[in-house]
Chains A and B, each alone.
Chain A
């Protein structure tokens, strides 16, 4: 019951914030559209980073094709809302307009997430049966295959990109799903199943010897992560109203990896910090024009030298607030790529 109360509170707070930001709640009070867009894209980054951390940080299996799952979610959900949007809206005529939009968005995200999960299953099953770096290689190839494949589907715009997507996502929906993904991942890793994931990261042979079905655990973790990336992609498309395969290149996958590495692999708080910091830095450094990426790289190098385990290591905000009595040495998780 406590969980339900918190959930209602979060929804209410997000709703009010949304109203304040766009200026519909208090006349004359709003924030600049640019800032709002940065905040919203940060929210989408949080979803992507938190979900990738489940497989890369907690399970210790290196995926470098997160953008591919994001692309599946973005295109599949947009295809649904563009092609069948009017019919679904008409069928939901009994609802007020904003609820109709919400229902349509949820339907799109469900389809996007589901398709991304199915893709994750077919990528994960053959590559996660093995121990080692196979997932990295397979996901790298998968991400590119998906992108080139979509590029050649004329029904979703092909090389022109997919335009005319209804603007269904906003601050409210993006942060609602960001909060949901944080809850899903943190509850998953703090469960019996989640302990098997961390055990696999620590020592896969020992985990198997303790009766853990390592393939099953890894595949579930990967499918869950893929599904959340699909939802993130769906929100991305319905926020910007336009998607192009250029948004889902290999570089995008690497960006998400950078977010979780600077935040700390195996820390959900770290993923959130990393996601926000990443977009904050790339936007904040805009005034340096051509030196922007140089400065950005330098900052990343400094962070990695000063805190090799990421800003938060494997710690979470909850444990930091409790101010653990023991002085733990900073944890430096080994990246087993």
Chain B
């Protein structure tokens, strides 16, 4: 059974059909690319999956359970985490704190324990601190742990967003243009990182990206959207030679 399965998902905003009858399935551990020209509906797919929008029709099943229309916090706790196209870090918090916030959804100690500084609270804080620092090390951010997130260079902010999403212990990671604004070398490092994270943690990755080198380089399956509809799906090599895809990107004769 697929980890996540979207069937006949349609998202309408008034008269505009942003996503039209989308069918998509990801297995655990799969690297899946979602591409398409600007305005094709890629980010809307993310917003529908993460509960920002409730789809107009269709079903989204995660791990066999229907999740369409649930609040995004609940969906994250089920095991779907995301990054944002326009970076949304907690600006005045430090890099370390940004990651710690994401650990909150997997821990138990409440306000009472925090005020009384109980043993459970102290132990949990120590564990969160340790695991957050480990994550930062993986994403090469450990040297910046006490820096305010908004003072980070762009590439590091992108990596921090992924690290923060990883802290929620997802089984499906949605990356919205992780390589945007990165130079060639940074994009290359990012590809290695995404692949490594996938292999190491074994989760599925759904990737929206405009940098074709990245998409074609790491995705096993590529799914092309145009005006909300699927125009092609298959292995990277097949997609690159697909006349419909070329037409959508370069315009018809």
User: A residues engaging B (CB < 8 A)?
Assistant: 3, 183-184, 187-188, 190-196, 198-199, 202-203, 205-214, 220, 224, 314, 328, 331, 333
Contacts and interface: CB of A to CB of B under 8 A. Distances in A.
14 contacts: A187-B117, A188-B115, A192-B100, A192-B107, A192-B109, A192-B124, A193-B104, A196-B104, A202-B92, A205-B88, A206-B90, A209-B84, A210-B167, A211-B106
Contacts of A209: 50, 52, 72-73, 76, 81-82, 84, 88
A89 to B, nearest CB: 31
Given A203-B88, A212-B105, A214-B73, A194 B93 contact: no
B90 A211 contact: no
B102 A210 contact: yes
Nearest to B50: A209
Interface in B141-200: 148, 164-165, 167-168
B62 interface: no
**A contacts with B: majority SS:** helix
A293 to B, nearest CB: 34
A244 B111 CA distance: 34
Contacts of A199: 90, 93, 101
Given A208-B71, A224-B111, A192 B104 contact: yes
Contacts of A206: 84, 88-90
Contacts of A198: 90, 92-93, 97, 101
A195 B50 contact: no
Contacts of B71: 208, 213
Given A192-B124, A206-B84, A212 B115 contact: no
A193 B114 contact: yes
Contact of B115 (A184, A210, A331): A184
Given A202-B93, A214-B73, A193 B105 contact: no
Counting chain B CB atoms within 10 Å of each CB, the highest count among A183, A199, A331, A333 belongs to A199
Given A209-B50, A210-B104, A210-B165, 9 more contacts: A3-B117, A191-B121, A192-B114, A192-B128, A195-B104, A196-B101, A202-B90, A203-B90, A210-B168
Contacts of A183: 115
A222 to B, nearest CB: 12
Contact of B97 (A188, A195, A213, A331): A195
Contacts of B101: 195-196, 198-199, 207, 210, 212
Nearest to A211: B105
Interface in B36-85: 50, 52, 71-74, 76-77, 81-82, 84
